[in-house]
Amino acid sequence: MTTEKIISILDKWNFWNQKIETGFERKEYLLKMDRYLKMPEIIAVTGVRRSGKSTIILQLIERLIQKGVNPCNTLYINFEEPGFGNFLDSKLLSEIFEAYLEFYDPQGQVYLFFDEVQLVPGWEKFVASLYDRREKVKIFVTGSSSKLLMGEISTLLSGRYVSEIIYPLSFREFLDFKKINYSPLIASPKIYKALREYLEFGGFPRVVTEKEIFNKKVLLAEYFNSILERDILLRHSIRGGRDVREIVNFIYSNVSKLVSTYRIEKDFGISSQNSGRYFEYFKESFLIQFLPYFSFSVKKQMRNPQKVFAIDTGLSNAVSFKFSEDVGKLLENIVSTEFLRRKKQLYYWKNKREIDFVLRTGHDVSELVNVTYFLNGKSVDREIKSLEEGLERFPGSKATLIYWKTDSVPKHKNIKFKNILDFLLERESSNF
């Protein structure tokens, strides 16, 4: 590929000769990115496709320019750009970097952003080499796989990177996108209506900004198919994919429930070995989150089924078409994602009764959390007994019961009752 051709492709994506619309700022992520800029390590930004990784990177570049960085000192490369065609390899990376240096001759600190870098075979060797030369280059890489920096790549870049997962919009961000005021928090019908929309259609930025319900559903179906085709079937060279589709459809119709490879083999005739492999693919593409059973014994964890959650409730609703009858389970799903967004170590636990979430800090269980939609007489008794059993098993831990609706908030000396809005909109201290 000629130097001129490379520059003409790059020019469409960079701020060198144009202003690029970067959309609504996701301030919490941008704050983290600002901090990462001060570190010499490579920054790996991962997350499910369409969660907003590229937009956040472009917003970061825009911020740098606003702070006085010459636009020509930034280089953004989108490896999904069709113009690169079949040229994607480590040689192309060298050609792109050399063409950029030749045409723009940047002086001082340079900021490089490689978007969807996993599409380039051997990219890690180029990036590691650039990093090890200790040039004035700050490197960000993004990818739609949790294994972007695992295996051989992790060995090559060991000690050279830090990572950040980008999730679909939190409910706080959802309200910001909708320009709905929630400070100070007043549990108004408008906010609860927004929460129902968030439960049904999720937090993918483009879906949130789309006004037509039909179009939201079309987008979500397209996202699901794109993740399945590109990040699972194509990436792992799976032909046909009927078994994969059956399993993911089953899981998306059973969010917040327990699933095992044994059950998949029994119900669908798909071997435990294959379904276990597919579970790993779902996990690495961020399509599904798996919560293990809590035990200090790894063997016991592995022998028990896992609890499954969709990365986004909009995706699971688009596939399962069960929104109206599963509000409680979807509520549990968004609590799960919010905990993961806050970088909590999550498990579930079950003895006579089940604890929805076990939060672990270091070697200790720090909190037990149950989630219910309507806290009425029957559910109060059930949820309290469950948490009491958990407190007996894990003395010293806290217990919280998160709910949406209640006729009256119960009182219990060892259990904290928290409305879903209070949970979703509380400010967490930075994990960075």
Nearest to 326 by CA among 379, 246, 255: 255
Directed axis angle between helix 213-226 and helix 313-320, to 10°?
A: 90
- Judged by DSSP in three states, 328 sits in helix
Q: Which helix (H) or strand (E) holds 295?
A: none
In angstroms, the first-to-last Cα distance of the chain is 41
User: For 343-375, how does the pLDDT look when each residue is reduced to its tens digit (9 = 90+)?
Assistant: 999 999 999 999 999 999 998 999 999 999 998
Res 145: pLDDT: 81
Show the CA angle centred on residue 336, arms to residues 331 and 339, nearest 5°.
125
The domains of the chain, with CATH numbers, are: 3-165 (3.40.50.300), 171-425 (no CATH)
Cis status, amide bond into 82, omega within 30 of 0 = no
| Mean pLDDT over each residue of the chain, to the nearest integer | 91
* Amino acid sitting at position 340: L
Identify whether the C-beta of residue 358 lies closer than 8 Å to the C-beta of residue 339.
Answer: no
300-337 in b/e form (b: 16+ CB < 10 A) is: eeeebbbbbbbbbbbbbbbbbeebeebebbbbbbbbbb
If you average pLDDT over residues 230-246, what whole number do you get?
A: 92
What's the pLDDT band for 389 if we cut at 50, 70, 90? very high
Res 179: pLDDT: 92
User: For 60-107, how does the pLDDT look when each residue is reduced to its tens digit (9 = 90+)?
Assistant: 999 999 999 999 999 999 999 999 988 888 899 999 999 999 999 999
* Amino acid sitting at position 259: V
**pTM for this structure?**
0.92
Classify burial at 255, counting beta carbons within 10 Å of its beta carbon; exposed 0-12, middle 13-18, buried 19 or more: buried
User: For 186-204, how does the pLDDT look when each residue is reduced to its tens digit (9 = 90+)?
Assistant: 778 899 999 999 999 999 9
Res 231: pLDDT: 92
Looking at per-residue pLDDT, the higher value among 364 and 325 belongs to 364
* Amino acid sitting at position 361: T
